[in-house]
């Protein structure tokens, strides 16, 4: 009898562990996930005072930043199609964002993008959770240089008293080719820890 109770207890425990494990697995976010074996991604690059990030390497040209821009990297060989661009911008915040202020900050981020992109359409915004903490994913389309449309993906990441904005742009017609690159670059960003943290 006690042997049957022990077996039943082990079976129940195994089922509970299995259910917990199955429930914990989620499908990866297509816009924020590192590639398991990236083929065209360089080793993490350090930007002093900002952090590290992994960027595409072959056929991409890195350019220095200025003022509120850390860097820009543009694809070299697709100028006729418009190519793609990734840039990292930053803005100082007067104080760190409190958890209860995040929703308001997300709305302000979207409104700021909308005010600066008057010809853009199809705006979406959502709060997500990432390695750096909560961030806002803003997406929209706008007229592209090649005559088609570009899709813009902006990752707005508040970190202590900084708002980092990783802006990724690609022609809408070939967006699926760039999604894994943008997602990897965003998920690889590791900002420096603020002093005293």
Q: How confident is the model at residue 150 (pLDDT cuts 50, 70, 90)?
A: very high
Residues 57 and 184 sit within 8 Å (Cβ to Cβ): no
149 within some domain: yes
Tens digits of per-residue pLDDT, 47-99? 999 999 999 998 899 998 888 999 999 998 655 566 899 999 999 988 888 87
pTM assigned to the model: 0.82
Residue written as token pair 């007067």: 94
187: domain CATH number?
Answer: 3.40.1000.10
Gap between the Cα atoms of 6 and 188, Å rounded = 46
Look up residue 91 and give its two tokens: 């803005």
Residue 166 domain boundaries = 45-191
21 within some domain: no
Domain count for the chain, please give it: 1
25 within some domain: no
Q: How confident is the model at residue 16 (pLDDT cuts 50, 70, 90)?
A: very low
pLDDT for 78 equals: 59
135 within some domain: yes
Q: Tell me whether residue 165 is exposed, middle or buried, using C-beta atoms within 10 angstroms of its C-beta: 0 to 12, 13 to 18, 19 or more.
A: buried
112 within some domain: yes
167 within some domain: yes
8 within some domain: no
Q: Is the pLDDT of residue 3 over 50?
A: no
pLDDT for 101 equals: 80
197 within some domain: no
């Amino acid at each position: 009898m006690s042997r049957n109770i022990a077996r039943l207890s082990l079976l129940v425990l195994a089922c509970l562990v299995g259910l917990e494990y199955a429930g914990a697995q989620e499908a990866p976010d297509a816009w924020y996930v590192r590639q398991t074996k990236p083929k065209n991604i360089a080793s993490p690059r350090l930007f002093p005072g900002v952090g590290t990030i992994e960027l595409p390497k072959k056929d991409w040209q890195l350019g220095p930043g200025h003022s509120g821009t850390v860097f820009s990297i543009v694809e070299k060989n697709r100028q006729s199609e418009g190519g793609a661009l990734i840039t990292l911008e930053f803005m100082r915040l007067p104080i760190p964002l409190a958890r209860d202020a995040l929703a308001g900050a997300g709305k302000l981020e979207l409104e700021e993008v909308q005010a600066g992109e008057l010809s853009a359409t199809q705006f979406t915004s959502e709060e997500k959770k990432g390695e750096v903490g909560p961030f806002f994913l803003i997406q929209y389309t706008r007229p592209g240089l090649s005559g088609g449309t570009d899709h813009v993906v902006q990752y707005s990441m508040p970190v202590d008293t900084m708002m980092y904005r990783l802006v990724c742009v690609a022609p809408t017609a070939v967006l699926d080719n760039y999604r894994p690159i943008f997602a990897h670059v965003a998920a690889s960003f590791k900002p420096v820890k603020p002093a005293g943290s």
